[in-house]
Chains A and B, each alone.
Chain A
């Protein structure tokens, strides 16, 4: 369990990091290292050089921008979990963070690291896809960005190119007053990878009709999925209408089968957890006052 030798560099600026990354095909980025270090220890990864981006000032911090919250790539998961902006404006992220690893790994693990790793059962990618977040990238050629749905391709495979690194994640903030989130997960132990995870966010108008709705599924397919719930918009969501919409959206779900759970199990649990998450989100939104301050 000892990593093979490598060079370690800690650049002082993002530009310098991108420069180093562009010139070296055997280089890997390290930040919190909570996934990469085990891979190195088991020699599943053997980069010649590690470029440490954890302390780069350009990648730190959580800030509000018009209609969105931008979370710097190196934001620790534990820090995001306690952050008042995230709690108020990206409640789904705040809700899932206690399910990401356990306290010691959240103290080092970063939000951007979880995105870049692209585990199909990870909660942070699930939130990014469900809320249609934007993944902001850095490279020598300049900053770019892409929708989360296009970023994740398959298990641990993302659209990131050699020479690029995740800069930040832009989570959209819904403008509505009555917003609720719901989240359910099945895993063998609390901190373990989800066999199935469902996250939902619902916004209601004063009469309890659905203004906006987002539902996502993790751990089931080879990447997190956003399910089309547009048929519920403008209606009062009840168990029957929600179940119909979920069944339709899950009709041709390509579920994974592995040692832990069969595809059939995953599909069945997916339907149940989606419904629970949606109902929980709706009820949380309904508990908010219809009038007055948010």
Chain B
């Protein structure tokens, strides 16, 4: 079956069997191997991608269902090849990863959170990554990484209104 997908801002076409999940197609047809295959039945969150900006499990969606959406994978977050997004950088700084298996999913979940909430509380962060399992870090440093990323993003936002200045001060 032919399907047209929008992946990281690029239109791509694939001829695939309906039973192939979006996860399989991202990895096998488009070699976007940053989307990790963990449990392949919706438990671990390693396969998280963004669909129209919201995190979903790519193993719980068939690629033939994914036309018409903006799909973002971990490869689509960095501003340019060889660079890191603020959140990716924060994960490095705070040791938010060990083996790295869960990391793309964690970062995409965190990205979706910070797009909608610039000053998340610890509870907001825990809730946002509650669908992502990490077997290494114990989550503490992942939460720190997201908190650090939130601060960095605020600090890097051009100051427009007093409002922003206030929230920067609060975040510090």
Contact = CB atoms under 8 A, between A and B. Distances in A.
Interface of A: 1-8, 10, 30, 33-34, 37-38, 40-42, 50, 52, 54, 78, 98, 101-105, 107-108, 190-191
14 contacts: A1-B40, A2-B19, A5-B18, A34-B57, A37-B61, A41-B40, A41-B59, A50-B18, A78-B54, A104-B45, A107-B51, A107-B55, A108-B56, A108-B61
Task: Name the 9 nearest CB pairs between A and B, nearest first.
Answer: A102-B131, A1-B40, A8-B18, A38-B41, A104-B55, A107-B54, A104-B131, A37-B60, A3-B19
A264 B154 CA distance: 52
Nearest to B65: A52
Task: Give the interface size bracket for B toward A.
Answer: 20 to 34
Given A8-B62, A33-B60, A41-B59, A105 B42 contact: yes
Interface in B37-67: 39-42, 45, 48, 51, 54-57, 59-62, 64-65
A38 B42 CA distance: 7
Contacts of B41: 1, 37-38, 41-42
A2 B21 CA distance: 9
A168 to B, nearest CB: 21
A29 to B, nearest CB: 13
A218 B149 CA distance: 40
A131 B152 CA distance: 46
B130 A34 contact: no
Contact of B60 (A6, A50, A98, A105): A105
Interface in B6-32: 17-19, 21, 24
B18 A191 contact: no
Given A1-B39, A37-B60, A54 B131 contact: no
A38 B60 contact: yes
A37 B24 CA distance: 14
Contacts of A78: 54
B102 to A, nearest CB: 13
B19 A37 contact: no
Contacts of B45: 104
B128 interface: yes
